[in-house]
Structure 1
Amino acid sequence: METAEIQRRWLTYFGDRGHSVVPSASLVSDDPTLMFTVAGMVPFIPYLTGVVPSPFDRATSVQKCIRTLDIEEVGKTTRHGTFFQMNGNFSFGDYFKEGAIGFAWELLTSSEADGGLGFRDSDLWVTVYEEDDEAYELWQKVAGVPTSRIQRMGREDNYWSTGQAGPAGPCSEIYFDRGSEFGPDGGPAVDDTRYLELWNLVFMQYAIDNVRSKVDFDVVGELPQKNIDTGMGMERVAFIKQGVANMYEIDQVRPVLDRAAELSGRKYGADPVDDVRMRVVADHVRSALMLMTDGVAPSNDQRGYVLRRLLRRSIRSMQLLGVKEASFPELFSASKDAMAPAYPEVASEFSRTLSLATSEEESFLGTLEAGTTILDVAVSKATDAGQATLDGDTAFVLHDTYGFPIDLTLEMAEEAGLGVDQERFASLMSEQRDRAKQDAKKKRSQVADTSVYREFRQHGETVFLGYDDLRNESSVLGLIRDGIAVSSVGPGDTAEVILAETTLYPESGGQVADQGTLEAPGVVATVLDVQRPVSGLISHTVHVDQGELAVGQSVEVLVDEPNRRRARQAHSATHLIHAALRDTLGPHATQAGSLNRSGYMRLDFSWTQGLAADQKLEIEAIANRAIHDDLEVSTKVLPIDEAKALGAMALFGEKYGDTVRMVDIGGPWSRELCAGTHVASSAQIGVINLVHESSISAGARRVEALVGMEALSEFSRERELVAGLQQTLKAPRADIPARIDELINQVRQMEKTIESLTQKGLGGAIERLAPTATTYGPVNGVVGRADEVASADDLRHVAQNVLQRLGSGAQLVALGADIAGRATIVVVANSDAVDQGVHAGNLVKESVAVVGGGGGGKPQLAQGGGPDAAGLDKALETLASSLRQL
């Protein structure tokens, strides 16, 4: 049974039984405390916790999820995957334990011909919370499961909570018995490898408090509304139904694994180490494909860093399989073909995602080359010091800072005859993971903070009136100070104000929050920020300047009109620049983020290379022509499917409901889904001055522009700059570029003259030193001073040229110089000298110790120095003596 068919059966089954079928949310979580959607219930948290009233009594979804905490286990077990799909059914005060158990058992055990999943009753086991007698009895009554296959488990395994005070409840899990060849008898309590968890049913029925740990808390009562949250692991069901050994061999993953095997010329199943590498590639390529389809781009922080790590681990694994050249075009194409039947957007966005992937691969292949150089130096130092192992700190820095994979470090160190302190490396990695987990735990703990908004949200959604008006009368529904609801706030207080309606725009869609005031007789509060802490609710953070604000009070809401006007100009300018980018570069130059504030706009877009000067001029010109043409700006609220059919762009990172707001500028030329505020016609923008374009990550660029009066001010500053250049260069405006080129050429010619004179001086040193070669033990060489040089680079240049003059045989040159009051020594030797026991690095270390310094290097080239320039002759004599003793 194909994975897409399991998805279809799931949604059909629950849809036919009165559940609202909810599309998968983006992998980019709405929850500000989560980077990704990590579980199927995440999009439903506001409804399950009661913060936001649920729009449906029962729902079902197949949710895309990403988890990377156990990334090191990927490929080694049957079930660890970074991307997975969680099939869920949810009840919000509707059915409870009996209904959830009945649905789960019927879908699992009904025949495939009847639309079920066709599992045999006898292969399924159930666990319940040890004190949940109700669930224990219902499994027997509703599903007919014998008590011999129902096991009671403790809080550690069968109790769900957020880890904070709030809703919680017992769990019941369904396991599949894979057979005696996978482990001992005795059910999931004995072996969870043989008995594989398929489905988890959470019965959210209690309120808990005084949470001391996952298993230590106080149950303080029953919830007024009992909810159901269940999750069935799609990949686990798929690999059982498809008769394969693990999740990496199912139909959505195996094609990538097979392509990796073909490219490497190695056979899957022949070598356990290679098998793990192929499974890592298969998993990570799929995860990266899905993340990029949802708008994530590789970068060095947050979501982009996780994506970059997945991509780099894939490249690393292909390298260890012997594939040194780029392979992403082949691997990602295989993954696209496998995932598109379930997620059509994978195909429609593939050109953009492949461009991001190949750009990252090209960049990282260069990083691997640079990392190899860094590792070579570290290996050389370890060898010089007589160490048998490379220290774990170096391996960790290479891995964590430079992105150089530990597997390659191990392999290359072994080639140099060194081990790696893996225990220290593992310890540092463990510390890093612990920090990440603690940070994640800290962030998760903030989820419960939204409960303070529950009471206010139950009054309904905050009505936003700001599209048409800049002031309104409203009533204070609630006040929050330091995270706690209060009845009033006074002068000097900073607090959140919940209003019934507002004209103040809350930050969203790249547009910053409005500025303004809340006023009443004797009361003035300055608005510091406006946000949507939960869906449908607008919160105003204010500083109370005078008087007292109280719940139930009437206030006048006043928007700062000049600031709003300039923000509107910037937001509409962003739409124009986006359309101009697509006109100039093509449809793949899609927006990936924006910032619009008074007089300034910033737009990030998908593109792999810097814009040429003529492209930037063209983009700016197209946008300003649209302003000149005074295009009408119109908005319309309509169903999302209808808006998309009209060609409206839905932008990454934005969340849309069934009904959307569509903004047209000049008709279909610029047509986007957008909740922001805009000008009435393009001429009101004034002018756009494109001031900067840069890279923000592989495959993503950023343009920045000034808008309106700020753009005019910048033009004035540039005019003053040009006038100053005219005066300084004594040239008319049109001649300034040529005059600057002329000056640059003059400077370059002077630099060449200086370099030539320097080289002539160095040539004299070479001619003087080469004839002084004499025998030092087993080698012929020159040991002397070269005070003609001005830098260490010059000293190396002279030494290497003298060595070339000495010809064949065992030859060495050791030169010293007083450079800016510091004794500097360089030693170069040919391979024959090294064969005779010469090690340039050791010679330098010994000699520079005389001048109070340090240094070292490889057997054929080394450099060092010290502060005691007066001791240079003694240092060179020490070096010569060491040579004679070889």
Structure 2
Amino acid sequence: MEQLGLNEVRERFLRFFEGKEHLVLPSFSLVPKSDKSLLLINAGMAPLKPYFTGQEVPPKKRVTTCQKCIRTPDIERVGITARHGTFFEMLGNFSFGDYFKEEAISWAWEFITEDLKLPVDKLWVTIYQDDDEAFDIWHDKIGVPAERIVRMGKEDNFWEIGVGPCGPCSEIYFDRGPDKGCGKEDCAIGCDCDRFVEFWNLVFTQFNKDEEGNYTRLSHPNIDTGMGLERIAAIMQGVDSLFEVDTIRKIMEGVSDIARVQYGQNKKTDISLRVITDHIRGTIFMISDGILPSNEGRGYVLRRLLRRAARHGKLLGIDRPFLSQIADIAIRESHKAYPELKEKRDYILKVIEMEEERFDQTIDQGLSILQTFIEDMDKNNIHQLDGERAFRLYDTYGFPLDLTKEILAEHNMDVDESSFKKEMEIQRERARSARHETNYMGTEDNLYDVIDTDISTAFKGYDVLETKSKVINIIKDNELCEKAEKDDNVILLLDKTPFYGESGGQVGDKGIIKGDNGKIVVEDTQKIYGNRIIHKGKVVEGTISTCEEVTAKVDKNLRMAATRNHTCTHLLHKALREVLGNHVEQSGSFVAPDKLRFDFSHFAPLSDEELAKVEKIVNEKILESMDVETIETSFDDAKHMGATALFGEKYGDIVRVVKIDDFSIELCGGTHLKNTAQAGVFKILGESGVAAGIRRIEAITGMNAYMHMVRLDDILKEMTVELKTSTQDLPKRIDMLIGQIKDKQREIDMLRSKLAINSLDDILKHKKEVNGISYIAVKLDEQDMDGLRKMADVLRDKLGSGIVVLASTQGSKVFFVAAATKDVVKQGIHAGNLIREVAKVAGGGGGGRPDMAQAGGKDPSKVDKALEYVEKILATQLA
């Protein structure tokens, strides 16, 4: 048995099946396409679901892949064992109605025994208990002894999810030897010990299960196999876990070097080394597929992995940001198989750096909040932190439970872990319910399933805006029909169309479809599975029937407006790279007739100067009247030309390149101008942040930009008339008026302060006592925070001994101030802690020193109630 590296095993597998006439497809993105059942791709067959269900025609009936996958249900166990991981690569060979059991079994055996040269006497297989066909192939054709073919029940060796296609499976095991086992006499296949390792699962999809539980044979059965790359590499290298496989071990060694610890010497540090190693592998692939850290969905998964890795770095004693350094090693080990990692290296590392810095900030906040909890518990003689608070620290601030427990233990306290786990389960349930329940393989039942998969639409809209077309299908009320009548809402499928179907960020065309007997107003056009374009609209005249010839005509003005915006997104992309740097990558876009929206990677808001430079470059390129050329070529040739591809996009063998002179060249299937001058003018409306490391620019072009400038000019004229000045002098006039308003406001504030100070004696009459401590808690009218502080200082002096709490409102804002004399501070009064609790009643927060503090609130209606709470808080502080 050869000692093969992980990268070599992957290459050998793909080349082997390529030799068996399989099409080698690159790994699909971790972000599922049109599959709401999955948050992330978690199996080799998952991206191929449309081919298995018949929604799409596969590029070939035989396919092989190495698919990157993420699984997170057991994330808490990652690191604790040497088996569990969130990221893995799945090797697979697939047949869509072509070959079946005999070929699948024969080729699997040929690969592992002749190519990988695994010892035959170490191999075992399992089959479904009733699958005599599989037994005969394994025993009679392959020659596996009957005693090494284990029949297992439906739970282990029959693949099905609800109703739909399903079938038996056969698994291949490797016997690592008795020394790796549990030592029990009955140790065999199925034992939980480490002796028998299942590494390849062959699924024979040969039945269809109906609602009544009946199984009928499929006329075209499928093959779906999956072999864990890390698992087979561990077998080839004779190591005990995936973390000791060559490429993965190098990542872990990088962590060890930084932390100055050795793997295998300490159980606790081993856990942290495994967590960091696994999580960093997953994060580099997630970011390369366009996922960014966030608080929901797959972005939350990424954030959780990164923060869990960063936290384990701290447990190892690493006191500086280090994850990007480890990520660089992971990229180096995998970029030959996944070139996008090298292409996006700088971007990936920057995202990781930013998230690790953000975690450092939030964990410090967590420490501060935990300290407050400890102080409250100590004063109230409580020794256990409730699970809700512990979970809030974990969920909001990324504060790990074990660190919370460790800090609490120093104060002879602990955590209510049972209620913490309940909160964790509630969150998991929310995540589960957010995903859609679906049928076979996660595909949704939808009205497009009624369309014959052999039908496709020829798109003619790059060259013409009107075609003579034939109506292939009419869908009304989710069903196929022969005819549609006036006022019917319908979906039409034509044999050819000039209408652009929504894709690549560009919205679908609108227009008219007209026949001899009727007319449809098309309100939207969309692309669906199988290279089909559907037209959504309403019959406004007469009737439309299947098989009749119609005229399909796009609304020229709307198409042209959208086209201007689309071409300008390309100019904008290049301009941003020139002004900000080559790290800028498009991460999303929206192109409609009225505006464009462009999302891109950048790590800070753009300054006014940067925005002005970008806008100027785009307009310069418009005025240079640059030719816009579209070229159809192979993907590899397009890359050699320097064409930019988008995050997460999958491109076919033939791609469309949009080249704007020598300025911009991108892969794009959208509609574009012939010359940049057709855009007219480009105007940026705004720039904002939409996610960590992602900025957004909104802009307009053509007549929309012109009308925008007309509206601004009208506003300017109104202002000059209203303010009785000229356009040139308008800024000076506004500055003067603002200055006058500020002066008047200062006068008003001074008068209010004087009036308030004159009423000090009245305020002092509100003095009360609690446990011998004097206090005043009153509400003043229309005072800002500065005015309240001055009043509190004066009242504190007048009071002599005690604490003053003042509140005021201005509109929807609430202000609180507390000031305590030194003697009552010594007795346990803390103005900062008091004002924080007071402000909570009014929906706010704050704090400060023991002798002076301030806070804000959001609910003016709760101010009186908040002030009533002062007595109770003081009593608690003095207890």
Give the one of 51, 64, 87 matched to 1:47: 51
Once the two structures are TM-superposed, the CA of residue 841 in structure 1 deviates from its matched residue by 9.5
Aligned to 2:123: 124
Structure 2 residue 203 is the aligned partner of structure 1 residue 195: no
Counterpart amino acid of residue 220 in structure 2:
Q
Aligned to 1:671: 665
Aligned to 1:64: 68
User: SS at 1:102's partner residue?
Assistant: helix
User: SS at 1:62's partner residue?
Assistant: strand
Q: Distance in 1 between matches of 2:353 and 2:300?
A: 16
Structure 2 residue 808 is the aligned partner of structure 1 residue 814: no
Q: Is the 8 A contact 2:46 2:441 kept in 1?
A: no
Aligned to 1:353: 348
Q: Distance in 2 between matches of 1:833 and 1:444?
A: 69
User: SS at 1:655's partner residue?
Assistant: coil
Structure 2 residue 8 is the aligned partner of structure 1 residue 10: no
Q: Is the 8 A contact 2:461 2:498 kept in 1?
A: yes
Give the one of 512, 528, 531 matched to 1:533: 528
Give TM-score, length-normalised by structure 2. Answer: 0.87
Once the two structures are TM-superposed, the CA of residue 447 in structure 1 deviates from its matched residue by 4.2
Q: Distance in 2 between matches of 1:10 and 1:271?
A: 36
User: SS at 2:562's partner residue?
Assistant: helix
Structure 1 range deviating more: 640-649 or 306-315: 306-315
Aligned to 1:686: 680
Q: Distance in 1 between matches of 2:41 and 2:549?
A: 40
5 Å-filtered alignment, 1:443-842, equals 443=438, 447-449=442-444, 453=448, 456-666=451-661, 668-741=662-735, 744=738, 790=783, 813-816=802-805, 826=818, 828=820
Q: Distance in 1 between matches of 2:610 and 2:836?
A: 55
Q: Is the 8 A contact 2:113 2:119 kept in 1?
A: yes
Structure 2 residue 111 is the aligned partner of structure 1 residue 95: no
Q: Distance in 2 between matches of 1:450 and 1:462?
A: 22
Q: Distance in 2 between matches of 1:428 and 1:231?
A: 35
Q: Is the 8 A contact 1:51 1:451 kept in 2?
A: no
Q: Is the 8 A contact 1:457 1:536 kept in 2?
A: no
Q: Percent identity?
A: 38
Do the aligned partners of residues 736 and 842 (structure 1) sit closer, same or farther apart at CA in structure 2, a change above 3 Å counting? closer
User: SS at 2:246's partner residue?
Assistant: coil
Give the one of 165, 168, 171 matched to 2:166: 168
> What residue ranges of structure 2 are gaps of 5+ in the alignment?
none
Q: Distance in 1 between matches of 2:733 and 2:866?
A: 51
Structure 1 range deviating more: 31-40 or 559-568: 31-40
Aligned to 1:206: 207
Q: Distance in 1 between matches of 2:324 and 2:65?
A: 31
Do the aligned partners of residues 485 and 154 (structure 1) sit closer, same or farther apart at CA in structure 2, a change above 3 Å counting? farther
Once the two structures are TM-superposed, the CA of residue 500 in structure 1 deviates from its matched residue by 1.5
Alpha-carbon deviations, 1:356-405, whole Å to 9, x = none? Answer: 22122223322223333444444444444433222222233333345444
Give the one of 22, 32, 35 matched to 2:35: 32
User: SS at 2:144's partner residue?
Assistant: coil
User: SS at 1:284's partner residue?
Assistant: helix
Counterpart amino acid of residue 46 in structure 2:
V
Alpha-carbon deviations, 1:107-146, whole Å to 9, x = none? Answer: 1223xxxxx2232223222221121111122111233222
Once the two structures are TM-superposed, the CA of residue 599 in structure 1 deviates from its matched residue by 2.5
Aligned to 1:397: 392
Once the two structures are TM-superposed, the CA of residue 475 in structure 1 deviates from its matched residue by 2.3
Structure 1 range deviating more: 731-740 or 867-876: 867-876
Do the aligned partners of residues 596 and 859 (structure 1) sit closer, same or farther apart at CA in structure 2, a change above 3 Å counting? closer
Alpha-carbon deviations, 1:715-744, whole Å to 9, x = none? Answer: 122222333443455444344445545555
Q: Distance in 2 between matches of 1:881 and 1:52?
A: 72
Q: Distance in 2 between matches of 1:869 and 1:12?
A: 77
Do the aligned partners of residues 371 and 856 (structure 1) sit closer, same or farther apart at CA in structure 2, a change above 3 Å counting? closer
Once the two structures are TM-superposed, the CA of residue 299 in structure 1 deviates from its matched residue by 3.2
User: SS at 2:591's partner residue?
Assistant: strand
Query: What is the total number of aligned residue pairs between the two structures?
Result: 860
Once the two structures are TM-superposed, the CA of residue 524 in structure 1 deviates from its matched residue by 2.6
Do the aligned partners of residues 166 and 547 (structure 1) sit closer, same or farther apart at CA in structure 2, a change above 3 Å counting? farther
Q: Is the 8 A contact 2:802 2:824 kept in 1?
A: no
Q: Is the 8 A contact 1:73 1:80 kept in 2?
A: yes
Q: Distance in 1 between matches of 2:283 and 2:74?
A: 16
Aligned to 1:218: 214
Aligned to 1:214: none
Counterpart amino acid of residue 814 in structure 1:
I
Do the aligned partners of residues 738 and 367 (structure 1) sit closer, same or farther apart at CA in structure 2, a change above 3 Å counting? farther
Q: Distance in 1 between matches of 2:72 and 2:294?
A: 16
Alpha-carbon deviations, 1:484-525, whole Å to 9, x = none? Answer: 444444444434322221111111011001112332233333
Alpha-carbon deviations, 1:674-728, whole Å to 9, x = none? Answer: 1111122111111111111111112111111011111111112222233344345
5 Å-filtered alignment, 1:63-82, equals 63-82=67-86
Q: Is the 8 A contact 1:491 1:545 kept in 2?
A: yes
Q: Distance in 2 between matches of 1:407 and 1:297?
A: 26
Once the two structures are TM-superposed, the CA of residue 551 in structure 1 deviates from its matched residue by 3.5
Do the aligned partners of residues 551 and 133 (structure 1) sit closer, same or farther apart at CA in structure 2, a change above 3 Å counting? farther
Alpha-carbon deviations, 1:588-638, whole Å to 9, x = none? Answer: 212111110003111111111111212111111111111112111121111
Do the aligned partners of residues 104 and 820 (structure 1) sit closer, same or farther apart at CA in structure 2, a change above 3 Å counting? closer
Once the two structures are TM-superposed, the CA of residue 15 in structure 1 deviates from its matched residue by 1.6
Q: Is the 8 A contact 1:843 1:882 kept in 2?
A: no
Do the aligned partners of residues 482 and 318 (structure 1) sit closer, same or farther apart at CA in structure 2, a change above 3 Å counting? farther
Structure 1 range deviating more: 45-54 or 862-871: 862-871
Q: Is the 8 A contact 1:51 1:450 kept in 2?
A: no
Q: Is the 8 A contact 2:716 2:727 kept in 1?
A: yes
Q: Distance in 1 between matches of 2:797 and 2:81?
A: 58
Do the aligned partners of residues 472 and 331 (structure 1) sit closer, same or farther apart at CA in structure 2, a change above 3 Å counting? same
User: SS at 1:108's partner residue?
Assistant: helix
Counterpart amino acid of residue 147 in structure 2:
S
Q: Distance in 1 between matches of 2:414 and 2:876?
A: 31
Q: Is the 8 A contact 2:335 2:342 kept in 1?
A: yes
Do the aligned partners of residues 854 and 323 (structure 1) sit closer, same or farther apart at CA in structure 2, a change above 3 Å counting? closer
Alpha-carbon deviations, 1:527-547, whole Å to 9, x = none? Answer: 233222213122223333444
Do the aligned partners of residues 543 and 159 (structure 1) sit closer, same or farther apart at CA in structure 2, a change above 3 Å counting? farther
Once the two structures are TM-superposed, the CA of residue 570 in structure 1 deviates from its matched residue by 1.0
Alpha-carbon deviations, 1:211-245, whole Å to 9, x = none? Answer: 7xxxxx321x2212122111110111122323333
Q: Distance in 2 between matches of 1:548 and 1:584?
A: 55
Q: Is the 8 A contact 1:506 1:513 kept in 2?
A: yes
Q: Distance in 2 between matches of 1:369 and 1:512?
A: 45
Aligned to 1:139: 138
Q: Distance in 1 between matches of 2:131 and 2:119?
A: 25
Once the two structures are TM-superposed, the CA of residue 443 in structure 1 deviates from its matched residue by 4.9
Counterpart amino acid of residue 89 in structure 1:
N
> What residue ranges of structure 1 are gaps of 5+ in the alignment?
111-115, 212-216
Structure 2 residue 223 is the aligned partner of structure 1 residue 228: yes
Q: Is the 8 A contact 1:823 1:872 kept in 2?
A: no
Task: State the superposition RMSD in angstroms.
Answer: 4.3
Do the aligned partners of residues 178 and 825 (structure 1) sit closer, same or farther apart at CA in structure 2, a change above 3 Å counting? same
Give TM-score, length-normalised by structure 1. Answer: 0.86
